[in-house]
Amino acid sequence: MDCQIDIQQRPDHLHVRVSGERTLETGRVVVEAVATACREHGISRVLIDATSWGQPLSTFDLYELVSFHYMRAFPGTVSRAAIVEAPDNFDPTKFHETVARNWGLDLREFQELDHAVGWLAEEYRRPGIA
């Protein structure tokens, strides 16, 4: 496996940078690392910076990653996830986002890091949310 994962705790989310080869196996490893870090730090919001993480997965592999690995690891640990993709890897059909949302995960994909951070913090800024 040729994949590097750097996880940093921020005040309201975990910032995960992933680089190297993107395969179903490295995706599974990233999912497990994110879920473990969320449990260890008591944080349920995650930003995954995938701008240096190889080419996107095939549609089939992406569906398997979300429907099996996300759903096994993320319930109870990840409440909201933002994924930042490089412009060349960004999918305008938002298949990843759609599949994740269909499985009940609040996930969005972005091309801009600051938009992703803003979306993750959005709920904290609404009136009445402590």
CATH at residue 39: 3.30.750.24
- With residue 6 as reference, give the H or E element that holds it: strand 3-9
Average pLDDT value for residue range 111-118:
95
Q: Worst-scoring range by mean pLDDT, 20-29, 82-91, 93-102, 120-129?
A: 120-129
Q: Indicate if the pLDDT at residue 104 is higher than 80.
A: yes
Average pLDDT value for residue range 98-124:
90
Cβ 30 vs Cβ 3: under 8 Å: yes
Q: State the residue range of the domain holding 46.
A: 3-125
Is 47 contained in some domain?
A: yes
CA count, 13 A, side-chain hemisphere, 25: 5
Is 130 contained in some domain?
A: no
Cβ 55 vs Cβ 89: under 8 Å: yes
Two structure tokens written together for 110: 């972005």
Number of domains the chain contains? 1
Distance CA 105, CA 107 (A): 6
Is 113 contained in some domain?
A: yes
* pLDDT tens track for 39-64: 999 999 999 999 999 999 999 999 99
- Which pTM was predicted? 0.89
